[in-house]
Structure 1
């Protein structure tokens, strides 16, 4: 069963002016990321505006990315839903169309118990033919899973990793608790934590900056994991810090789409209530990306 690793961009969904999906633009983005040396693709994550799509649109986008990637790069499909049954349905669909694993957010809108969270992931994993990656994003959900709970979930057959969009202390403790589990990958969801996560024994990062500077992000991974060159990795990471911060200055994915457009790729608008980047930001990101080369 595929266990995710490396640098995995959270794909934004390029859109036309009428807010319909720009599949041609999405195809160009996928090629840009494969050429840039990324290790996988996340389709249907938060950056992809999955929460503003119908179930049919979510399926269409997952299928398109799987078909377009043509097995050249692993695909992680965002399949989390409020209902466990819907999560299973979308996960099974993703498996049918070629996804390698599924990203499933923890229950949050309807509060449940600790056991309820475990049972949710256990049920989804038991009924899926592909691995399940836990999506932990307490800033967005208001629900924090402590490292001990995640470690317990990691023991469930079919749970292959986590996108841990939590602070450094949480991530470092989680790495320590799961280091002896060969079937579980810890990936950070914060760009600022890429370097420390890798240095501590984590397996990679799912992020948005990857879309804009894939070659540099891929190089950062290689420097740490394949070359064991922390000094050069630190130097490269320092070059990227301004980009990491800039992306969060305004609403995501508007900032990322502005960056794509600065690179000559499709971005387009976002669906309400999300808003596009300001003209001031568009000018800033264009200059920043130019300086990064």
Structure 2
């Protein structure tokens, strides 16, 4: 089990899923991205099965295959967090048990979305996911995509369950972040917006999870070191470059572009799953320019 101090100021890549051109999962590509994160990025951990992994477009069999492949390839070298959340509560519970049996020490679950669930229903969802598994859970809060904004008192109610240990906080409400950090000093808070890493560090988060760390981990780690050393100007300069990179990725279609830039780095990251875009010549040229400008 993770202790809070073990996660302090650690950096996690939100792992992508490689797909073949026919939309099937490319497990060899998944292995290659795990290896790159370990061997080149020297990442502290991977968040597996989240938004970046296109997990909400996958069936249960595909999710299980990815979870199994990742833990085999990582082989204990880094921390792993398995995102098992689903609109199908039975699937979420099944995946929670599956990854626990595989050896994942921490699970995570997105807030249930689309149906405007009441907080009582959301609380029931989280308690059910962890009820029958010997594991600990991090709430995945991403209101911009789920439409679910939890209040500080609602987080407090969820934390009444001792198996719920923290939050993947992908929320631009930094007033709420400060309030949550102040009220729950012993809970894990992992920042989920790469472009806001520096202000999140200023609010004393315990680490960060993000898509662009698959490419940009070295720069993000250098920013964390600079911040801890009190060199705020250096941290600002590094965040500015990171945000320039993020802006260029977004303008070039971020998910396929992340994979295209990894291809430039020699990592067979594959395609995105439709209806996400497959690369066109302009996108490929844009990704090459991003690689040359920021990573070569």
Q: When the two structures are superposed, what TM-score results if normalisation uses the length of structure 2?
A: 0.90
Give the equivalent residue in structure 1 for 2:264: 262
Question: Given that residues 132 and 160 in structure 1 are in contact (C-alpha distance below 8 angstroms), is that contact kept between their aligned partners in structure 2?
Answer: yes
CA gap 1:156/1:228 in 2 versus in 1, 3 angstroms: farther
Question: Given that residues 249 and 290 in structure 2 are in contact (C-alpha distance below 8 angstroms), is that contact kept between their aligned partners in structure 1?
Answer: no
SS in 2 for 1:201: coil
The 5 Å alignment of 1:1-293 reads: 1-2=1-2, 3=4, 4-5=7-8, 6-35=10-39, 36-167=41-172, 170-179=173-182, 181-225=184-228, 227-293=229-295
Gaps in structure 2 of 5+ consecutive residues: none
Question: Given that residues 9 and 207 in structure 1 are in contact (C-alpha distance below 8 angstroms), is that contact kept between their aligned partners in structure 2?
Answer: yes
SS in 2 for 1:266: coil
Aligned length: 290
Q: When the two structures are superposed, what TM-score results if normalisation uses the length of structure 1?
A: 0.91
Question: Given that residues 212 and 258 in structure 2 are in contact (C-alpha distance below 8 angstroms), is that contact kept between their aligned partners in structure 1?
Answer: yes
The whole-number CA distance in structure 2 between the counterparts of 1:86 and 1:254 is 27
CA gap 1:238/1:251 in 2 versus in 1, 3 angstroms: closer
The whole-number CA distance in structure 2 between the counterparts of 1:214 and 1:177 is 26
CA gap 1:223/1:100 in 2 versus in 1, 3 angstroms: farther
CA gap 1:204/1:18 in 2 versus in 1, 3 angstroms: same
Deviation, 1:41, is 0.2
The whole-number CA distance in structure 2 between the counterparts of 1:98 and 1:27 is 17
The whole-number CA distance in structure 1 between the counterparts of 2:178 and 2:135 is 23
CA gap 1:189/1:222 in 2 versus in 1, 3 angstroms: same
Question: Given that residues 8 and 41 in structure 1 are in contact (C-alpha distance below 8 angstroms), is that contact kept between their aligned partners in structure 2?
Answer: yes
The whole-number CA distance in structure 2 between the counterparts of 1:279 and 1:155 is 52
SS in 2 for 1:76: strand
Question: Given that residues 252 and 286 in structure 2 are in contact (C-alpha distance below 8 angstroms), is that contact kept between their aligned partners in structure 1?
Answer: no
Deviation, 1:277, is 4.2
- Following TM superposition, where does structure 1 have runs of at least 4 consecutive aligned residues deviating by more than 4 angstroms? none
SS in 2 for 1:42: strand
